[in-house]
Structure 1
């Protein structure tokens, strides 16, 4: 039996890496992507087929889609859009350019890649499109306006795509993680330092506090590469893991989204996301805002 083929983006660390290894272990042919040459070389040592992809570069997206379809002989069974970063900063301090960069990496690039793959899936009458969204695609949080906006946009586009592909044989799902062990906070901290003039902001004291909090969190983050087995072992079975899970929790949802005959439209990963989804449905807007402010 020919192995099913999946394209997974953003595999240099965190969720992408664990999912690439996990799907490979399940017998899938995994085409992984990364931006940097060193990460591409590392992934190749794991027995993965690897392509270069930069979501902010249209030519890179076009080349990746073309090469992935060529490698799969036009029979790509699934794509998991995952590569992204979070841009912190108060909305009033975000330049239009910074906001555009966030959307290029987290939204427009995903759309470009996905629409280049859909025709081949339509021709076959089957396929799975899975988006790695976020709890911040359900509820807003202060200081995360750019990331909130990109994930809210992604949720709307994904839901629409699911409706439009109904009956085509192509299934569309969204995975919405809450706190997951990864290098996400470190990358967010670097984005804040590089792209927001925190010292020149009238809120510089607030930024100093937030940066200290991010530094503490980033310093406690684990090594960026966890196999599914390592991830499950690190998470354990205690009370705390309900708040911060390992990337294997996302892998479990990806497996269901790609292998189940009836994948879910939305997968809420972590206690935080499940509670946010429930609050969104049941609580008045003012109560939701109070909870968001209290937890920020």
Structure 2
């Protein structure tokens, strides 16, 4: 008991010493740091550097894209000179995000146009492939939501943006996509897609990169604000009711002309034949009576 009392007294004296506070502070930091390392979420460990992202994208590219585009994105040609896959140098991350994000790439088989289908790569994998392709040469980057959103504008400014977007769309896009963005047939086996369910991000990327037979509207041709206005017009179309009755697929003169010929003119011809046949029967009956 005497030894225990002596030890407690010694500890009490050291606890009041100037070093004791520093030791306790260091001990507290070690304990709190250990608890944080063990209990903190692993999000910090999942952050990838640019080099790691590009390396991961190259691995995915070699598996999914190199067969047509070459191991370094230089593009490949067949023995008879046909392009198997174009060069991707300088197309930028936006082109990859559009093509892979809409399921057009990787392509199931070569053809006149890559159709949309369910995506084969998830968002993280698409981001990695886009980073690798962007490293091959400077090109358009993936747009941010601020590029195609009307947030921050009041009601009058929104209406003006929609009107401007409609004028730009009717001038530059209706020849292929129809006046309400429903798409249509194109030469050489192509087709302008229906934009009714396309996301604003992919519409912006399509204007920026010009996929397939579509023209490329760089920022020198259409400013970022004008691209935003076109998207605002297309989004506004989705909210508008159809005041004309049957939409007929929304294909404009194609479906309307077909309906007019088969329905309208066909009905008129049938009615004319019925009148002529009825008149002939009436004439015969009058002759027999006479």
- TM-score over 0.5 (shorter chain): no
Quick check: which one's helix share is greater? 2
Quick check: which one's strand share is greater? 1
Range class of TM-score, shorter chain: under 0.3
Larger radius of gyration: 2
TM-score (ref. length: structure 2): 0.23
Q: Which has the higher contact order (CA 8 A, sep 6+)?
A: 1
TM-score (ref. length: structure 1): 0.22
